Amino acid sequence: MPVHNAEIAAMFDQAAELLEIKGDNPFRTRAYRRAARVLESLPKSVAAMLRAGEDLAELPGIGEDLASKIATIVETGKFDLLESLKRELPGDLGEIAAIPGLGPKRVKLLIEKLGVRSIEDVRRAAKRGRLGELPGFGPKLQQNILAALAKPVAAKRFKLPFAEAEAGALIDWLSRGLDGGRVVAAGSFRRRRDTVGDLDILATTTRAAAVGDRLVEYEDVAKALAHGPTRTTVILRSGIQVDLRVVKEESCGAALMYFTGSKAHNIALRNLAVDRGWKLNEYGLFDEDSAIAGETEEGIYKKLGLQFVPPELREDRGEIALAQKNALPHLVQLSDIRGDLHVHSNWSDGNATIAEMTQAAKARGYAYMALTDHSRRVTIAHGLDRARLLRQIDEIDRLNAKLRGFTVLKGIEVDILADGSLDLPDEVLSRLDIVVAAVHYKFDLSRDEQTERIIRAMDNRHVSILAHPTGRLIEERAPYDIDMDRVMTAAKERGCCLELNAEPDRLDLTDVAAKAAKELGVQIAISTDAHSTAGLAYMRYGVDQARRGWLEPGDVINTRPLRYLKKLIRR
């Protein structure tokens, strides 16, 4: 039973939480948390790295001790430290600590003084008013705890289109109340993560209090959680939390940097400042008491001896070392994209004609578009059988004959059957310009079976691109279990490309997987999977994700002119 990086990361997070409650050295708990984040963003599984004889202690934040603990976990599946911590501190302590207002110190008090072990214990103690016996538990805190227990909010993350709509409306509202100054979104929203947990909004103005007041007055506010002179936190009716921070113009860059994060990136930058005897905070970069930068992010990076780091790269995944050497990747941009390689029409489950999709793609400035309707197995989508596909090929030939400066590539999104064979015979596939292969059923195969199935599909030399490689639907359906290391290696060996599906419900590959593909030299297609003309606009989400995966134009096949593209998709 292979142990995934994410599982080890979760063990480290749990251990950190329990060590915190115990009151252990806070820097030790931080080390476990940092290591967990490093593990989560590794391009390869540690199991594979160990097999290859790599030294895990060379990873940032992982020393001899953690390297050996990881090796033991991979070997045995067990983490002794965590096991003994759990024996020492049994119960659902993680859930208790997740209640707003309850941190490690207060949880420790609850355990020691009231013998609390579960959320139910907390509820009983709160109802009997026993929490008031504890130091630091005033009436207000008890009330907040009861309220939180009455309406448990699931830790939810929000998809980008929803976050964009909420942020847009809110920024508009705040801006209209501002005389001078500006309002922007920062946080993971600005870093273009695939989902956001909350909205971090930054306003620059001299009248700080007025902006916070205006946020509290916003009609969609369900509850104000905190409201100070420079910082205000509210929950909107939709359930998303908004953190507003207001600073003066001269601190704008520093505040934007601080509020954009990531936390790990910020800490690394602040350490660089400390190395030089300076201090970096949300107000600026300071030598003693005098500000030496702060109005712009560019100015701060420059003073720290760094190239400007695009927000998408700010995850402490190696970008700082490269920025010191002026060697950051030249990230792909939306304007580099010359075509879309996964598009549906009303021949299957799209809602527009081939001509309409073509016009819309052309209007976006593209040079080509691959029409890739579903194959016959996807009956619910009215998938194409051999005869209909041949008719479609004829229709596209006729359409192409009339087009100037634009080419519709004849393609299919062919289903990968359970045994890894394809849903249409080679004789038909060979007549197409491009074949995109995808899994749409039998998600529950074992890891080995699913991996073999997909690799077998890529064995077919007509397959140019593996579509949405993990099948995940964000917040709805987990990725099916595959060995991504093996799939990518197999793709590389066969000259098959992987898709980065730009649909904001999918964004599949993830940023981390895209970076791993790049490092292996696997070419990526950023494709929208559009089922309507409007769907073509999802390209920007795919490009954002690709940038988070460090992809450059040369890593992305649909930045190529048609001539070169054709070489890349023919095997």
Partner DNA sequence: GCCGTTTTCGGCCCGACTGTTTTCAGTCG
Which spans of this chain sit near DNA (rule: CB under 7 A)?
A: 25, 27-28, 30-32, 35, 57, 60-67, 81, 97, 100-107, 135-142, 144, 198, 200, 226-232, 241, 243, 263, 266-267, 270-271, 273-274, 279-283
Gap between the terminal Cα atoms of the chain? 35
The smaller minimum CB distance to DNA, of residues 279 and 388, is found at 279
The smaller minimum CB distance to DNA, of residues 284 and 339, is found at 284
Output the smallest distance, CB 327 to DNA, in A.
17
Output the smallest distance, CB 568 to DNA, in A.
39
Output the smallest distance, CB 389 to DNA, in A.
51
Q: DSSP letters along 104-117, please?
A: HHHHHHHHHHH---
The smaller minimum CB distance to DNA, of residues 53 and 135, is found at 135
And the tokens for 138? 């005033």
The smaller minimum CB distance to DNA, of residues 97 and 439, is found at 97
The smaller minimum CB distance to DNA, of residues 39 and 530, is found at 39
262: cis peptide before it, omega within 30°? yes
The smaller minimum CB distance to DNA, of residues 296 and 324, is found at 324
User: Which among 264, 267, 281 is positioned nearest to 188, based on CA atoms?
Assistant: 264
Give the DSSP H/E element, type plus range, for residue 455. helix 447-459
DSSP one-letter code for 278 = -
Output the smallest distance, CB 41 to DNA, in A.
15
And the tokens for 487? 């799939």
The smaller minimum CB distance to DNA, of residues 39 and 412, is found at 39
Q: What gap in Å lies between CA 363 and CA 369, rounded to an integer?
A: 12
Output the smallest distance, CB 245 to DNA, in A.
8
Q: What are the C-alpha distances in Å from 449 to residues 143, 217, 469, 488, 499?
A: 52, 55, 15, 16, 21
Q: What gap in Å lies between CA 234 and CA 199, rounded to an integer?
A: 10
The smaller minimum CB distance to DNA, of residues 16 and 539, is found at 16
And the tokens for 188? 């993971």
The smaller minimum CB distance to DNA, of residues 271 and 430, is found at 271
Output the smallest distance, CB 352 to DNA, in A.
42
Q: What gap in Å lies between CA 207 and CA 230, rounded to an integer?
A: 10
The smaller minimum CB distance to DNA, of residues 53 and 229, is found at 229
* DSSP strand pairing (407-415 vs 368-371): parallel
User: Which among 315, 189, 311, 182 is positioned nearest to 240, based on CA atoms?
Assistant: 189
Output the smallest distance, CB 54 to DNA, in A.
15
Output the smallest distance, CB 408 to DNA, in A.
47
Q: What gap in Å lies between CA 556 and CA 336, rounded to an integer?
A: 9
The smaller minimum CB distance to DNA, of residues 87 and 140, is found at 140
And the tokens for 481? 């279990």
Output the smallest distance, CB 147 to DNA, in A.
11
* Long-range pairs for 162-171: beta carbons < 8 A, 24 or more residues apart: 162/238, 162/240, 163/189, 163/196, 163/199, 163/240, 164/189, 166/199, 166/236, 166/238, 166/240, 167/199, 167/201, 169/220, 170/199, 170/201, 170/215, 170/218, 170/220, 170/236, 170/242, 171/201
User: Which among 304, 295, 250 is positioned nearest to 276, based on CA atoms?
Assistant: 304
Output the smallest distance, CB 95 to DNA, in A.
13
User: Which among 480, 482, 389, 497 is positioned nearest to 440, based on CA atoms?
Assistant: 480
Residue type at 206 in one-letter notation: T
Strand order across the 290-293 sheet: 279-281, 284-287, 290-293
Output the smallest distance, CB 224 to DNA, in A.
8
